[in-house]
Amino acid sequence: MATINDNYLKLKAGYLFPEIARRVSAFAADHPDAPIIKLGIGDVTEPLPAACRDAIIEATKEMGDRSTFKGYGPEQGYLWLRDKIAQQDFQSRGCEIDASEIFISDGSKCDCGNILDIFGNDNKIAVTDPVYPVYVDTNVMAGNTGEFQEGRYKGLVYLPITAENNFTAEIPREKVDLIYLCFPNNPTGATATKEHLKAWVDYAQQHGSLILFDAAYEAFISDPDLPHSIYEIEGAKDCAIEFRSFSKNAGFTGTRCAFTVVPQNLMGKAQDGSAVKIWQLWNRRQCTKFNGVSYIVQRGAEAVYSQAGQAQIKELVSFYLENAKIIREQLTAAGIAVYGGINAPYVWVKTADGLSSWDFFDKLLFNCNVVGTPGSGFGAAGEGYFRISAFNSRDNVNEAMKRITEKFTA
């Protein structure tokens, strides 16, 4: 009998979102006529931008002609897409990122987990709490943690972000090696100022730490004073990897395209103490384990950077931000404390009546037929909170808020 990776046995019974799906399915089976509205998982609902659709159709036609057919592409992604990303997402903001430092992938979720392939098991790892579960669970799978006790895994350094500290990730007093940061934050919707990120970059440079910066929601930043990339901070190229995605800004959740930025001068340390280029390791990993994103999808992603594409994704982002505004204002009017939802598509809700996160989930499901995400599923510090996603149709958002405010009006 083959042995297994026992680290998987340390994982909690079910990943957060499958557990939500299980509960909703059970409720729907018992209440087949219930008009359920799902504002839990951060999946988009609006169609792909027309510019992306047109590009995908044209690329598909190319695949039907021998003279323009494409087989295996470069594992790093096609240069014409990486060039546009480097120019429009980074160089236009004063970030000295070259196309060679960009790796196209099929999702930031994948990259956030796969990046652990190139790091050792003796790193001290810091995560915010609450936290996107993928950061924690992939470290459990990789053997970087101890057992799960009292809502946390031994071996990880947890950095609480709550209303008491204005949802700001505090700099650890101890030395850590890998630091996961996500801004705009999932799940709280909090943002980070340039001054705050500068403090993290200074810490990383002082301690030889590496920041894993998830910027999947940067397109939702409307405040001109907030940074969209950690590379807007001086010194970040020496201590940070950044993850980006087309999932939320261009609706690619089902199309799958993202990218990771690994600066050429970023260094790690081998067991013998010698310095090693992290770019070299990630490139080797991708060439071995990844065959690249399809030509068709990459052409669709390239269209995001066209004049029409830029206008269309701006409309998409504005649509979801308006949803977030409706959620935030309606719940506030009902006497419920809310956070986020201004430069982010998530509204972080303080549960009413002192209910636990899962009890609040059940109350919304059974009384309002509305699905959200229990804050405790994002970590111990998320207990007593609840995430509501702005990714849905306007009619569903309005109806969901009508149901909730009728039940919870103060």
**What is each CA distance from 260 to 14, 86, 131, 170, 272, in whole angstroms?**
28, 11, 20, 25, 28
Indicate the residue type of 410: A
Give helix then strand counts, H and E, for the chain.
11, 17
Mean pLDDT of 297-301: 98
The pLDDT value recorded for residue 354 is 87
Topology of domain 6-47+308-408 in CATH is: Aspartate Aminotransferase, domain 1 (3.90.1150)
- Give the number of other CB atoms < 10 A from CB of residue 264: 13
Could you please report the per-residue DSSP string of 134-203?
HHHHHHHHTT----EETTEETTEEEEE--GGGTT--PPPSS--SEEEEESS-TTT-----HHHHHHHHHH
- Give the number of other CB atoms < 10 A from CB of residue 186: 26
Alpha-carbon gap, residue 256 to 365, rounded angstroms: 30
What pLDDT digit, counting tens, does each position of 359-400 carry? 999 999 999 999 999 999 999 999 999 999 999 999 999 999
Q: Among the listed ranges 50-54, 88-92, 109-113, 160-164, which one has the minimum average pLDDT value?
A: 160-164
Could you please report the per-residue DSSP string of 197-257?
HHHHHHHHHHHT-EEEEE-TTGGG---TTS-SSGGGSTTGGGTEEEEEESTTTS-TTTT--
**Overall pTM surpassing 0.85 (yes/no):** yes
Report residue 299 as tokens: 């052409």
Contact 107, 216 (CB under 8 A): no
The pLDDT value recorded for residue 13 is 64
Determine phi and psi for 120, rounding to 5 degrees.
Answer: -75, 170
- Give the number of other CB atoms < 10 A from CB of residue 319: 16
What pLDDT digit, counting tens, does each position of 242-253 carry? 999 999 999 999
Alpha-carbon gap, residue 221 to 244, rounded angstroms: 14
Report residue 315 as tokens: 């409309």
Contact 45, 175 (CB under 8 A): no
Architecture per CATH, 52-306: 3-Layer(aba) Sandwich (3.40)
Alpha-carbon gap, residue 220 to 192, rounded angstroms: 13
Residue spans of the domains in the chain: they are 6-47+308-408, 52-306
Average model confidence (pLDDT) across the chain? 95
Confidence of residue 42 (pLDDT cuts 50, 70, 90): confident
